[in-house]
Structure 1
């Protein structure tokens, strides 16, 4: 059963030509996944440098394609609040999107009322703007984004996640003990729930991830091949994904596509040096 109450009946999304996915981006079986090692965890210390890189590249970033004004709802990661997504939202605001934070304080997991409030925000944004809403989730926030899109596809334009562990076992991260501590919940072997979370939403869905993520095993963030799901690999830390200019460029590129005309990310020219799809 979905952790989100049904919003409205799901409708079939338009089918696009299937795009092959390289084998090195294929999800691994849950039992094969392990949390990132100590060396990768130490590399999370580069996050401040990623933020400095964003500040240095802001003049260039603001020249990205302008948005069409549609609403964007942004979810923070585990143990984080809206302050952590402020740079991301400020960039999108400057590009012409109508962003909204999740407005629920620190993300300590799906506590009582949290999921209902997420759905209420989605419905309110759709009602006020008369437009479908793009959902962006960082780490655990991406689980909210994906599940909301599954329950409310008629309200959702696209989903973009940043280092979100939606496949594999929760223990294939270095944050599962922290999750249990702050959420009051136990990480269990609920195969039905894990299978549900792994399933991609029926709307255009992009996972931006890093093989040098020190918190989440990178294969936990890889969508299975699908006409409406893709994966974009960047060089980034987990903590820095939401401020990494390379990751945010890809995110902005995904949001800038005209509604109903989604196509997989195709880095061309010099951009091929920075991305793997």
Structure 2
């Protein structure tokens, strides 16, 4: 449920929106960061579904999915074409994809969602708690009204729906799923007001990880990739909050303290 404070959230200002042009350089920095990314915790082979953001498709998540596959996961996209909102049949199809992935592997599935895709991931985990291992979102606006983003007009054009009406009908989007859930966000996000990606930290289940990234580049950003890999690599049932310490203090610079004022 959106609080009175949340309802006053404004979308990122035009200066931050202009900084979204740095997204290609974030992907380019993967090459420089590869020695570190190569050392990320390895996966155990369980399935990971990756959901794209608004108006994007599986092509946008190919780099991240290939990285996760390199680490040992069975990573695949959502297989629903472009994400134009909850069109007829989409929600039913992703529910079926989740069930099929669990049945074929005999194991729980992790869900990773970028922007609007993260909202899908969180809601799926609420509905299918027994099938989901953990949820990781990237710049997802689950704790803010639609107009706290710079994308609400695009959403209405793409989906043919009223963003505010959808928000009213969707229920408590800010309520965390009953599985380990990580929200990765950036205070320099030019599309989503960063406070709209914050969930109350609960050391038994939920956390927030801040990265220095653009919204369009978050799913291509090496620091976000490392954080996703670190979260997915935890043994089922042994979840612990993200550790910012280590690497002679460098890690704390890459991942700012999310609890600071």
* TM-score, normalising length: structure 2: 0.93
CA distance in 1, matches of 2:166, 2:130: 29
CA distance in 1, matches of 2:6, 2:46: 36
Match of 1:203 among 164, 179, 193: 179
The aligned counterpart of 1:274 is 254
Count of residue pairs the alignment pairs up: 251
Q: Greater CA deviation, 28-37 or 226-235?
A: 28-37
Write out per-residue CA displacement over residues 51-105 of structure 1, whole angstroms, 9 at most, x where no aligned residue. Answer: 0001332243122111000000000000001111000000000000001101111
Shift of 1:170: 0.6
- 1:1-277 to 2 correspondences below 5 Å: 29-188=5-164, 193=169, 195-226=171-202, 227-269=204-246, 270-275=250-255, 276-277=257-258
| Structure 1: gaps of 5 or more residues | 1-26
| Structure 2: gaps of 5 or more residues | none
Whether the 8 Å contact between 2:146 and 2:167 is mirrored in structure 1 is: no
* TM-score, normalising length: structure 1: 0.87
CA distance in 2, matches of 1:125, 1:194: 26
CA distance in 1, matches of 2:222, 2:167: 36
Distance 1:228 1:192, change over 3 A: farther
**CA RMSD of the aligned region, Å?**
1.5
Whether the 8 Å contact between 1:28 and 1:219 is mirrored in structure 2 is: no
